[in-house]
Amino acid sequence: MDIVDCALGSLEYMPARRALGNGDLVMNHRKSNWRRAVLAVVASVLIVALSLLGVLRARSPAEADVSSTAPAPVSVQRDTLRAGPGAIGQGGGPGDPATAQPAATNTMQPATGTAQPAPNNDASQPIKETRGVWVTRFDGLKTPADVQTLVDNAAYAHINVIYFQVRGQADAMYTPGLEPWSASLSSTLGQDPGWDPLAVLIQDAHAKGIEVHAWINTYTVWQGSTPPPASANPKPMYVDFNEQYGQNWVMWDQNGPMQLGGPDGYLWANPAFPAVQDHIVAVCKDLLTRYQLDGLHMDYIRYAGAQYSQDPVSNQEYAAAHAANPNLTRADWQRDQVTTLVQRIRDEALPARPGAVLTTTAWPVYKDQWGWYNGKDGYNALYQDSEGWTNQNLVSAINPMLYGPTVHDHMDRFQTLVQDYVSGSRPGSVVVGIGGDYSSFSDISARIDVARQAGASGEAFFSYQALNQNNYWSDLRNGPYQQPAVPSWR
């Protein structure tokens, strides 16, 4: 409208307007003046039309629109002085892969995916979908710059939760409170690496609106066949508890106490031993007290196998409980031991950080109705009642780990297990664990679709290293995660 108004008031139009309105002109000049006026008007109209055409062409969206797509993250060179002396690790500790490297910077080239963006029927409300990634102690976070790259990649892909493994084997990927520095950072248990990965991650992730949940291996005490050094400070749980309690605090089978290098390579603590529960609750409370965490994420929160635990303490405690309630089975009693710890963490540790949530991993199959796991299921063989925890409101969510060899390449099994967990759990409490190591992103996007269609509250990818090696950040952003979302519990 402004362009048209200016044209009507232009100098080209003014003489014609004056001629038409000039009453002092003599009669014998009116005709010629009128013709000149008409010609002037026609010329002015043509000029205006041509001007409008040029302006509209210059403002054509095809030529003038600027893409709103954010640039892909690039490598961030951060000031390593932030970390202090010894910030760059000298290799991994026990159990670290020899090939572990700092996370590589990606060029964000998309692969082919099929998943559709998360539906949002009410544009005024944020999409609620948990989008998590597990970051293990083996994922190569050796410097603050590696942490920044992790956060940049996650933010670019619209990931909203980072599960950071802070306790793998009764050690600490953070400034110690009750347990020694992890050897994953300096190659020596108890050695200060010169920086605090958890503190750096919280600062960087919160700046990008990403939640940080402390991922804790619950009952695994030490990995490998060589015991931890007794000189580490604080004293390792393995050393401290052996000195105080002998071997009654570890899991036993019918042959006696578990030795170092047990199931999954770990020595496991006994869920029924009171001091074990007290220690784990104290570790959780210490973390929430000293760090601005958004949640705790408990892993290995189960027994090591159906044959455990036949220790003297458990035998005595179960005998007393069974005498009081003859209908109580040994399996039910053992499930109660794990559930009691979950409840204690919720009731005793979580209040230290208002707003923090409690989540757990879950064995891939709750009850093995199909024989896929040869009877090794969460509920009956590992005494893990993960669905029950959601229905009792003990946790905000469980993350079934649906990426192991039994289910990894079997979409039908994946779909069945997702539906089974969703149908048996409190609505909105299942975050589906998906492997990040598929060679084609279409395998990941198809599983995201299955999770959404089943009514899951989100997805979590195992692991950061797998996603990074496959360079799937752009695929997530340009496909199923086009729109940002907030975690389902917010």
Is 64 within the bounds of a domain?
Answer: no
CB of 461 within 8 A of CB of 133? Answer: yes
Is 216 within the bounds of a domain?
Answer: yes
What CA–CA distance (Å, rounded) separates 144 from 79? 8
Is 157 within the bounds of a domain?
Answer: yes
Average pLDDT, the chain: 83
Answer yes or no: do 192 and 301 share one domain.
yes
Strand partners, 185: none
Give me the pLDDT at residue 232, please.
98
Give the domain range for residue 378. Answer: 115-486
CB of 458 within 8 A of CB of 130? Answer: yes
**Which percentage of the chain shows pLDDT scores above 70?**
75
Instruction: Give the number of domains in the chain.
Output: 2
pTM for this prediction: 0.78
Give me the pLDDT at residue 119, please.
62
Answer yes or no: do 50 and 122 share one domain.
no
**Which percentage of the chain shows pLDDT scores above 90?**
74
pLDDT band with cut points at 50, 70 and 90 for residue 62 = very low
Is 140 within the bounds of a domain?
Answer: yes
List CB contacts of 401: < 8 A, sequence separation 6 or more: 361, 362, 363, 364, 433, 462
Q: Which bin fits 375, alpha (ψ -120 to 50), beta or left (φ > 0)? A: left
Answer yes or no: do 187 and 323 share one domain.
yes
Q: What is the DSSP letter of 348?
A: I
Answer yes or no: do 123 and 48 share one domain.
no
Answer yes or no: do 137 and 248 share one domain.
yes
Instruction: Identify which of 265, 268, 285, 266 has the alpha carbon closest to the alpha carbon of residue 276.
Output: 268
Last residue of a domain, one of 59, 82, 99: 59
Answer yes or no: do 352 and 469 share one domain.
yes
Identify the CATH number of the domain in which residue 471 sits: 3.20.20.80
Is 86 within the bounds of a domain?
Answer: no
Please list, residue by residue across 41-57, b when 16 or more beta carbons sit within 10 angstroms of its beta carbon and e when fewer do: beebeeebeeeeeeeee
Answer yes or no: do 257 and 363 share one domain.
yes
Answer yes or no: do 46 and 129 share one domain.
no
CB of 283 within 8 A of CB of 228? Answer: no
pLDDT band with cut points at 50, 70 and 90 for residue 46 = very low
**Location of structure tokens 């952003």:** 477
Answer yes or no: do 324 and 248 share one domain.
yes
Q: What is the pLDDT of residues 287-302, one digit of tens each?
A: 999 999 999 999 999 9
Give me the pLDDT at residue 125, please.
86
Is 100 within the bounds of a domain?
Answer: no
Last residue of a domain, one of 41, 59, 77: 59
CB of 449 within 8 A of CB of 481? Answer: no
Give me the pLDDT at residue 56, please.
34
Higher-pLDDT residue of 37, 66: 37
Answer yes or no: do 270 and 186 share one domain.
yes
Is 101 within the bounds of a domain?
Answer: no
SS3 87: coil
Answer yes or no: do 214 and 313 share one domain.
yes
Is 76 within the bounds of a domain?
Answer: no
Rounded (5°) CA angle 186-204-434: 80
List CB contacts of 400: < 8 A, sequence separation 6 or more: 361, 362, 363, 364, 366, 386, 417, 418, 421, 430, 432, 433
Please list, residue by residue across 156-178, b when 16 or more beta carbons sit within 10 angstroms of its beta carbon and e when fewer do: bbbbbbbbbbbbbbbbbbbebeb
CB of 144 within 8 A of CB of 82? Answer: yes
Q: Average of pLDDT values for 401-412?
A: 97
Answer yes or no: do 25 and 160 share one domain.
no
